[in-house]
């Protein structure tokens, strides 16, 4: 890569030639252009082989994808965000000198503007008969091969811009991501939730069990952590009387990247005062229903999307965590098992989690082993044992359980919701229990949060879910990297 390729030399010499002729290969602007869809629309009324008799002028701009020369006529495909449009270059329109000049100076990948009139080719392709071309930026590097594009996963991630410029499908996918996020926002807004932004940097990352990224503040002279969840600040806002809040933002966990985990991911959490987890379930079901209808509209050409998003249409099956686990594993009386017994059962199921893990971890491992592989549709798993989380409220009728549900898609967990624990004294006790059982200082005891609860947290339900995973599920993508524009990669070796 140190030496530029012969291709680049060739393209640079074209830039030099351009400048030598007093023309700017990288102009400042190109006002007045319309989308290629406007020209296609004007072509809709024309029969094959016909130029627009009114000669209505159009100005378009975009990237050249392919150039097909036929001696005294040539075709070029111009692509903008609205789609692709065929440019028709004729010696008769441009004159011999200009025609030859353009064909020798232009390459696939160049950004060009074109002025001309609508026409439909004899083969029926909507086209623009070009009167004037303008070079808007010369591409020194050639685009990927026109048919296969960029296929190497690493290259698609490291140079996402090349993936995007060469793949309309990729652009459509990330466009759909933004549109679906907009749909999520509208849904929560319409339901009366206030979108808020809480701090990414703080002295203690809490609300989940995960290793944080640590950074340093020059101002305070102390270490700061990047948030691992937004749960605790959002509940403080409920204490503050905001009643219904949600946040969509990046959350950071200092872990490996794999097909369902990314060290930085987009999380949505929502908290709703005076409601419980049954209400939250209904709210989420409505959201899933809406997204499952929207996704195939956004990507109508992808059959995988239609199939995957159909899984997000209600009604959803419900699984009782304890009953389902007992049924599938043959274990009886699960809730009365000691930590040692749970550890032995987890080991027997093939788990290698450390000796000193908590009861909750062993229960999670058992569920993961016996139940998760059997989940083949979007499923609500409900009423987990208390030991699995310190933040959910005890179940009002099932002993030894909390009011919690998790949503599972085939292959991964999507969402986690509770009727929140609001009693400050029990919250403090539960924090201490987890801390004591695990002896792990990553479960930082957030005293200020307990103090906030002492001012009074109304009855509240809350949910958190990974937006990237939701998109994977809706769009049928097997890897989280497919739905994140710039996933973390190691630096390339020197």
Which residues from 97-136 bind RNA, rule CB under 7 A? 104, 107-108, 119, 121-125, 127
Piece of the chain touching RNA by CB under 7 A; list 191-199, 249-257, 285-293, 325-333: 249-257
CA distance 346 to 369: 9
CA distance 198 to 233: 7
Residue 222 CB, nearest distance to RNA (Å)?
Answer: 24
State which residue, 136 or 229, has the beta carbon closest to RNA: 229
CA distance 61 to 33: 6
State which residue, 148 or 396, has the beta carbon closest to RNA: 148
Cβ contact 443:232 at 8 Å:
no
| DSSP E strands, 9-125 | 57-69, 73-80, 83-90, 111-120
Cβ contact 413:407 at 8 Å:
yes
CB atoms within 10 A of CB 482: 20
Q: Please identify which residue in 60, 114, 205, 228 interacts with RNA, judged by CB under 7 A.
A: 228
State which residue, 242 or 353, has the beta carbon closest to RNA: 353
Q: What residues between 159 and 198 interact with RNA by CB under 7 A? A: none
State which residue, 294 or 481, has the beta carbon closest to RNA: 481
CA distance 272 to 418: 11
Measure Cα distances from 10 to 98, 235, 376, 385 in Å. 20, 61, 54, 68
Q: Is 87 exposed, middle or buried (0-12, 13-18, 19+ CB in 10 A)?
A: buried
State which residue, 30 or 75, has the beta carbon closest to RNA: 75
Q: What residues between 259 and 298 interact with RNA by CB under 7 A? A: 259, 261
**What is the three-class DSSP state of 402?**
strand
Q: Which helix (H) or strand (E) holds 11?
A: helix 6-20
Q: In what order do the strands lie in the sheet with 412-419?
A: 194-195, 244-252, 264-273, 460-466, 412-419, 404-409, 379-382, 318-320
State which residue, 156 or 294, has the beta carbon closest to RNA: 156
Q: Which two tokens stand for residue 163?
A: 């993936």
Using rule CB under 7 A, residue 208 touches RNA? yes
For 258, phi and psi rounded to 5 degrees?
-140, -165
State which residue, 3 or 190, has the beta carbon closest to RNA: 3
Piece of the chain touching RNA by CB under 7 A; list 37-45, 175-183, 272-280, 477-485: 477-485
Using rule CB under 7 A, residue 396 touches RNA? no
State which residue, 157 or 450, has the beta carbon closest to RNA: 157
Q: What is the DSSP letter of 231?
A: H
Quickly list DSSP for 419-453. EBP--HHHHHHHHHHHHHHH--TTS---HHHHHHH
Q: What residues between 135 and 154 interact with RNA by CB under 7 A? A: 141-142, 144-154
Residue 207 CB, nearest distance to RNA (Å)?
Answer: 9
Cβ contact 75:68 at 8 Å:
yes
Q: Please identify which residue in 15, 34, 46, 157 interacts with RNA, judged by CB under 7 A.
A: 157
Q: Which two tokens stand for residue 139?
A: 């591409």
Residue 8 CB, nearest distance to RNA (Å)?
Answer: 8
Using rule CB under 7 A, residue 200 touches RNA? no
Q: How many positions of this chain bind RNA (CB under 7 A)? A: 82
Q: What residues between 57 and 96 interact with RNA by CB under 7 A? A: 66-73, 75, 77, 86, 88, 90-92
State which residue, 163 or 302, has the beta carbon closest to RNA: 163
State which residue, 238 or 392, has the beta carbon closest to RNA: 392
Residue 371 CB, nearest distance to RNA (Å)?
Answer: 10
Cβ contact 295:475 at 8 Å:
yes
Residue 32 CB, nearest distance to RNA (Å)?
Answer: 26
What mask of x and - would describe binding to RNA in positions 11 to 50, judged by CB under 7 A? Answer: --------------------------------------x-
State which residue, 73 or 454, has the beta carbon closest to RNA: 73
Residue 134 CB, nearest distance to RNA (Å)?
Answer: 19
Quickly list DSSP for 259-301. TTB-SEEEEEEEEEET--HHHHHHHHHHHHHHHHHHHHHHSTT
Q: Please identify which residue in 403, 413, 446, 468 interacts with RNA, judged by CB under 7 A.
A: 413
Cβ contact 364:388 at 8 Å:
yes
Q: Please identify which residue in 41, 56, 137, 155 interacts with RNA, judged by CB under 7 A.
A: 155
Measure Cα distances from 462 to 238, 247, 272 in Å. 10, 12, 6
State which residue, 110 or 302, has the beta carbon closest to RNA: 110
What mask of x and - would describe binding to RNA in positions 433 to 452, judged by CB under 7 A? Answer: ---------x----------
Q: Please identify which residue in 115, 368, 428, 437 interacts with RNA, judged by CB under 7 A.
A: 368
Q: What residues between 325 and 364 interact with RNA by CB under 7 A? A: 350-354, 357, 361, 364
Q: Please identify which residue in 82, 181, 210, 485 interacts with RNA, judged by CB under 7 A.
A: 210
Residue 293 CB, nearest distance to RNA (Å)?
Answer: 27
Closest alpha carbon to 461 in 416, 424, 430: 416
């Amino acid at each position: 890569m140190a030496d530029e390729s012969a291709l680049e030399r060739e393209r640079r010499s074209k830039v030099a030639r351009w400048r030598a002729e007093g023309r700017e290969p990288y102009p400042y602007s190109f006002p007045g252009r319309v989308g290629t869809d406007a020209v296609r629309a004007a072509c809709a009324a024309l029969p094959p082989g016909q130029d627009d008799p009114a000669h209505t002028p159009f100005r378009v701009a975009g990237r050249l994808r392919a150039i097909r020369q036929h001696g005294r006529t040539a075709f070029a495909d111009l692509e903008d965000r609205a789609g692709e449009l065929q440019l028709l270059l004729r010696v008769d329109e441009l004159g011999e000198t200009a025609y030859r000049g353009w064909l020798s100076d232009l390459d696939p990948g160049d950004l060009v503007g074109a002025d001309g009139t609508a026409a439909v080719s004899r083969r029926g392709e909507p086209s623009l008969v070009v009167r004037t071309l303008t070079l808007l930026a010369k591409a020194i590097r050639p685009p990927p091969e026109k048919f296969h594009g960029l296929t190497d996963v690493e290259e698609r991630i490291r140079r996402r811009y090349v993936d995007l410029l060469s793949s309309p499908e990729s652009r459509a996918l990330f466009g759909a991501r933004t549109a679906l996020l907009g749909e999520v926002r509208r849904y929560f807004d319409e339901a009366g939730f206030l979108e808020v932004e809480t701090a990414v940097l703080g002295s203690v990352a809490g609300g989940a069990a995960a290793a944080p990224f640590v950074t340093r503040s020059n101002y305070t002279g102390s270490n700061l952590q990047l948030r691992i969840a937004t749960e605790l600040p959002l509940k403080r806002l409920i204490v503050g009387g905001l009643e219904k809040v949600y946040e969509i933002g990046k959350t950071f966990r200092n872990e490996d990247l794999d097909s369902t985990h990314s060290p930085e991911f987009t999380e949505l959490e929502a908290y709703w005062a005076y409601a419980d987890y049954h209400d939250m379930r209904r709210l989420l079901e409505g959201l899933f229903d809406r997204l499952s209808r929207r996704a195939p509209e956004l990507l109508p050409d992808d059959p995988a999307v239609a199939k995957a998003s159909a899984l997000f249409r209600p009604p959803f099956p419900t699984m009782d965590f304890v009953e389902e686990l007992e049924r599938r594993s043959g274990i009886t009386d699960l809730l009365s098992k000691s930590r040692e017994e749970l550890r032995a059962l987890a080991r027997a199921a093939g788990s290698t989690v450390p000796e000193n893990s908590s009861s909750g971890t062993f229960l999670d491992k058992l569920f993961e082993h016996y139940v998760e592989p059997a989940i083949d549709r979007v499923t609500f798993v409900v009423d987990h044992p208390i030991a699995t989380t310190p933040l959910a409220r005890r179940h009002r009728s099932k002993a030894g359980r909390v009011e919690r549900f998790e949503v599972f898609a085939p292959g991964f967990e999507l969402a986690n919701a509770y009727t929140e624990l609001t009693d400050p004294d029990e919250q403090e006790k539960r924090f201490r229990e987890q801390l004591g059982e695990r002896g792990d200082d990553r479960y930082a005891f957030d005293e200020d949060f307990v103090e906030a609860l002492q001012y009074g947290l109304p009855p509240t339900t809350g949910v958190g879910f990974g937006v990237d995973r939701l998109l994977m599920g809706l769009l049928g993508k097997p890897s989280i990297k497919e739905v994140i524009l710039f996933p973390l990669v190691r630096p390339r070796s020197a």
